[in-house]
Every structure is written in C-alpha cells, then in structure tokens.
C-alpha cells in the first residue's frame, strides 16, 4: 500500500504508522531504501513470485546507492529471478554487472555460467567456470558445470564437423544431379543469360537427394543407383476432379505403360466407363505462356523432357500431366 484505506485512521494505528515510516520515509538514505527493496525481493523470491522479485530488485537498483557490494547483490538476485523466468540474456546481463561491481562475487559467476549453458554458449560457460574456480577451486557447482560444458562443447564441435562433411557431400550430389539433367538437355526453367546464374539457380532448387517438391509425399527428382533420372509426375483428371501420382517415374518408362497399369480396371469415378488407355489424351501446361501441349503416350519420360519445343518443363519440382 502507498496510502491507508479511507476507513482506517493511521493516527490511531501506531503499528501501521510505524510501517509506513519504515517503508516510505523519504528521509531514508539510498542505501537503506535499496536494502529494503532487496529484502522485499528476497521475500518474493522465497515465495517463487519471480516477477515481483525482479520489480523489487529493480526498484532497489534505481536508488543508486554508492555501496558496490549491495548493488552487486541486487544485480545477482535479480539475475537469479530472471533466470527462473527463462530470461537468460537478462539474467546474464545482471551477472556481468554484478561481476563488474564485485569481481570475486562467486554467486554472480555461477549464475553467469548457468546462463551461458542455457544459451548453449559452451566456450563462454567454460571461461566463467574457470574464472570462478580461480577464486574457489573446490566449488562443486563450477567443477561439475565445467565438465558438462566441456563435454557438450566437444559434442557440438563433432556435430559441426559432421554437418560440414554432409554439406560437402550434399553439394557434390547436387552438382551430379544438375550435370545429369543438363547432359540430357532438359530445360529446367527459362534460360538465364548468365551461365553461372543458371548453375546457382539450379543448385538452389536441389535438396540432398533431389529437387525439392511441393507435393504431399515429399517425392523428389533424383538419380537412382544406376544413374537414371526419376521424376515425380502428377496426373490430373479435371473432368472428375481426381488425380494419380507417381513418385518415381523412370526416365525410360513410357506414359502408356503407366496408363495401362493405372486403368487396368476402370476407376469407380468413371461412371461412363470411357477412361480406357486407348481413349486418353495427355497434355502438359506451359504456365509461362498459359498454353497446353499434347504429348504422345508412346513416348518415354525422357523423350517428353527432351521435347524439341523445350516448353514442357517450367518447374523442376513436379511434372504435371492433364488427362482428358
């Protein structure tokens, strides 16, 4: 409370008047007020009310008393409350300030090391631990944390090395896949004027084992063990709002062969029984020009991809075929 409720007469309540004087007497010096807020924050901290503890410690720091040790304690305690709230960077800032005010303040050093651990700054955590161990070589928390940080740092470095090897392998696979596509004279996108730009664009579209695909199965353009291209192909039947999907259409497979398998039995949605392999017409859409191009079902996928019009493929992720 900043003031008494209206129904209470402070003059007739000496205990209340005494409390008011202790808490809000402006004649008290900054150090006394800062210490009062520190004690208030400690009570909130014991009750695990960390937000109010932070507010109390902050009020204590605002008094700007000239006692560096008291200010160091306020920063350390506020850092502890921030830590339990999950505000690790704020907690670390308080630990840094506390250490500046009192370089041998072990609690601040331990808190700073804990913050670095939570932030996965393992090298910094080790440095803080070593700084604390120079003050107290037997501090159990610092000894244990130093060992844990060192273990995690080595694991992180090992994972980084593995990731670098994997990245190099992935880049190599990307280049092999792109080279195979270019070797077959397959047009991925509209040709950029700069060859390096073309290579960069092509590589950007390729994932570890093929081109990224937007389809639900995650199928991708890839080279099989024999070095043959396999492409995800989506068949659309707009008349009936139906689809078929082939995750890995081999480059030497003919479209008619797949149609024969897909329509070996009439689909349940074909009530007129007219979707027979011999009756079907296949088209590719050139999205750039908004035009349709008919393809020969007797052709293989590679023949279609190498079509002399070079208008079949617009996007490298998924081949879409409209069936009428």
* Phi and psi based region of residue 64 (left: phi greater than 0; alpha: psi -120 to 50; beta: remaining): left
As a residue count, the chain comes to: 324
**Which CATH architecture does the domain made up of 212-323 adopt?**
Roll (3.10)
pLDDT of residue 174: 83
Provide the 8-state DSSP code for 254: B
Q: Which class for 1: exposed (0-12), middle (13-18), buried (19 or more C-beta within 10 A)?
A: exposed
d(CA 177, CA 179): 5
Helix (H, G, I), strand (E, B) or coil at 123: helix
**Which residue, chain included where needed, has tokens 């409720």?**
5
Domain boundaries for CATH 1.25.40.10 within the chain = 10-119
Domain boundaries for CATH 3.10.20.90 within the chain = 212-323
d(CA 222, CA 71): 63
pLDDT of residue 177: 86
**Which CATH architecture does the domain made up of 10-119 adopt?**
Alpha Horseshoe (1.25)
Residue 216 has pLDDT above 80, yes or no: no
Task: Tell me which of 26-30, 50-54, 134-138, 240-244 is least confident.
Answer: 26-30
Q: For residue 265, what are the contacts with CB-CB under 8 A and spacing of at least 6?
A: none
What is the torsion angle, in degrees rounded to the nearest 10, for the CA atoms of residue 206, residue 208, residue 209 and residue 211? -20
Average pLDDT on 304-315 reads: 60
Cβ 245 vs Cβ 235: under 8 Å: yes
Q: Where are the alpha helices (DSSP H) in the chain?
A: 14-24, 30-46, 50-62, 68-84, 88-101, 106-118, 122-135, 140-183, 195-204, 255-262, 301-305
d(CA 233, CA 221): 10
Average pLDDT on 169-176 reads: 87
Which is more confidently placed, 314 or 229? 229
pLDDT of residue 9: 62
Cβ 119 vs Cβ 88: under 8 Å: yes
d(CA 175, CA 137): 54
pLDDT of residue 293: 84
Angle CA(53)–CA(55)–CA(56) in degrees, nearest 5?
65
pLDDT band at 178; cut points 50, 70, 90: confident
């Amino acid at each position: 409370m900043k003031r008494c409720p209206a129904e209470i007469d402070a003059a007739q309540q000496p205990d209340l008047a005494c409390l008011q004087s202790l808490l809000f007497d402006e004649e008290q010096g900054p150090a006394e007020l800062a210490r009062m807020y520190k004690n208030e924050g400690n009570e909130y901290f014991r009750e695990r009310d960390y937000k109010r503890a932070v507010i109390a410690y902050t009020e204590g720091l605002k008094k700007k008393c000239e006692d560096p040790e008291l200010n160091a304690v306020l920063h350390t305690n506020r850092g502890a409350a921030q830590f339990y709230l999950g505000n690790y960077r704020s907690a670390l800032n308080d630990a840094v300030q506390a250490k500046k005010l009192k370089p041998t303040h072990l609690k601040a050093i331990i808190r700073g090391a804990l913050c670095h651990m939570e932030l996965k700054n393992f090298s910094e955590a080790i440095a803080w631990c070593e700084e604390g161990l120079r003050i107290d070589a037997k501090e159990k928390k610092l000894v244990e944390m130093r060992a844990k940080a060192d273990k995690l740092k080595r694991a992180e470095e090992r994972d980084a090395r593995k990731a670098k090897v994997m990245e190099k392998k992935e880049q190599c696979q990307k280049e092999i896949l792109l080279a195979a596509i270019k070797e077959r004279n397959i047009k991925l996108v509209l040709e950029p004027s700069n060859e390096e730009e073309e290579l960069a664009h092509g590589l950007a579209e390729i994932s570890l084992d093929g081109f990224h695909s937007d389809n639900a199965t995650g199928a991708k353009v890839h080279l099989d063990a024999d070095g043959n291209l396999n492409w995800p192909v989506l068949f659309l039947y707009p008349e009936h709002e139906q689809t078929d999907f082939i995750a890995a259409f081999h480059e030497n497979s003919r479209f008619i062969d797949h149609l024969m398998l897909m329509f070996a039995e009439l689909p349940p949605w074909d009530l007129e029984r007219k979707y027979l392999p011999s009756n079907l017409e296949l088209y590719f859409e050139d999205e750039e020009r908004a035009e349709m191009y008919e393809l020969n079902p007797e052709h293989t996928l590679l023949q279609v991809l190498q079509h002399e019009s070079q208008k079949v493929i617009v996007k490298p992720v998924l081949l879409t075929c409209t069936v009428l």
